[in-house]
Chains A and B, each alone.
Chain A
Amino acid sequence: MSTASAVAETKSRSRPALRSGRLTVALAAFLSAILVAGAVEIVLDAAVGHTPEVPHQPAFDSWLAGFGQSLGYDVFLPTLLVCAVAYAGLVLIARRRASPIWARWAIGLVALLQLIVFAGPVLLASDLFTNVAYAHEALHGVNPYVHGPSALPGYSGYRFVSPDWINWASPYGPLFTLVSLPAGIGGLYAGIWFLKVEALVASAATLALTWRCARQRGFDPVLAMVIVGLNPLYVLYALGGSHNDLIMTALMMGGVTLVIASETSARREAAGAAAVVAGALVKATLGVMLPFLIVSRRRLSTIVGAIIALAVGLGIGYVLFGAAGINLIADLGRQGHLVSSYSFASQLAHLFGKAGVYPIDHQLLTGGLVVVLLYLLWRVWRGYDWVTASGWGLLGIAVSTTWLMPWYTVWPLPLAVISRDRRLLFATLAIEAIWIIHQTSPLYGPVP
């Protein structure tokens, strides 16, 4: 072949490739713009005031009011759906080898979305106000593990706590109450902003550690960042509601980072196990990870690290909040008996013609979950990846709980993106997709 014909062939090959590359860049930019526009739309509309999508809250972000229209389901659900499609598109683009979503773009987009949601009102749940109330209780001599916010006399934020929770003692671990205590020091606005900043920092830590773990395990960290950080349920629900699940996931990823480090030492593994225990002392759900870690490593250091962290955490919890503050199993049990219309259990009940979930259904679901966890434990014993098993465990809890909240489906996501078993990632994203489609049911007919 002559040189001229070789050059011509190269040109003919590279032109379509170049055009396709430019198209991909344009598409990625378009999808990114959709995500940003969606977040801005939701935040500005939510700032207008209370709707079923926006909990009743004080006007701590009044500078945003006046730009949007009241956020109803007729705006929120289509926006959520469009954002989910844009997210799926960006994930697919990021999976391509010659992806235009390079690190700076991904980090910039993720940071922008997080800041937009952070600046806005509390979205989709009033848990933040309940948590501010628990902090006030703890600082004013009322044990939040014995009494609900209604026991706090003269508390100005009382009216923003959901009526469902005013008599409920805190279901969270003592470490969360401890790190949230500053929310009770100042006024209500200071408390709200403190918990919002806490959630933002936890989210940033989760994403940074996910990035690091992905690189450590030989995965593309940009793809991992895109999958977790742009996820609509992660951004709008978990961060939008400033949920403490983000603190749990940050500690979870901290534990994973320490344990999977290339130069693992006994001290690092002990610290990793301690981080997982700390996460479980924020939200007991993460306790499911510990058996997988211990069975996988089979080193004394992990057991010692976990025991020391548990002893210290429970000791501090006992001193501050008494026996009620360290009864994590009872806290889990209390919430486990609630039923949300979001849960797959409720949907299964409707499929079988039942009006709702009954105690026998609870027992069947718990039994099924135990079987799955035991099977995973056996797999880990035989060499299966403990990180993946932990992800399956968290996904199993989210699917089987009768008290499913949208942000619970985010728990396994940081583990799924660093798992060598890609089935976990597909399963987690599929569950989220099913959940989002289910949420859009009011769009398909009249609403009373």
Chain B
Amino acid sequence: MAKSVIIVDDSKFLIKQIAQFFEKNLGYRVAAAGSDGNEAVDLYRKHKPDLITLDISMPNKDGQQAMKEIYAEFPNANILMISAVRGDTMLECMKLGAKGYIEKPLKFTDAEFVKDFQETVEEIFTQ
């Protein structure tokens, strides 16, 4: 059965792109999509997906906080960060337990980027 994913990003445009990528390139089923941290936590509780992607800078509740709350309830959650934020914030998220990190901008036309994205997702389940 296809793995399920929830995509959370404050850009509708990017949600669409990421969803398309998961469906077409990775064969995932997109269970739901949200646009802030609150929705991320709610949707995770509801769907308990195989994977959730989180943007970091989002309104209401940022991705870092949402990650903390998800891990508090579901220590085995698989969280993939997709963000333009780098440096210490990225490191903090990794310390919190994020399983992977994709750097924005998303260059879906760049073969190298696509390969890295795929491998990052695959490694989450082989680690």
A binds B: no
| Chain B residues proximal to chain A, CB less than 8 Å | none
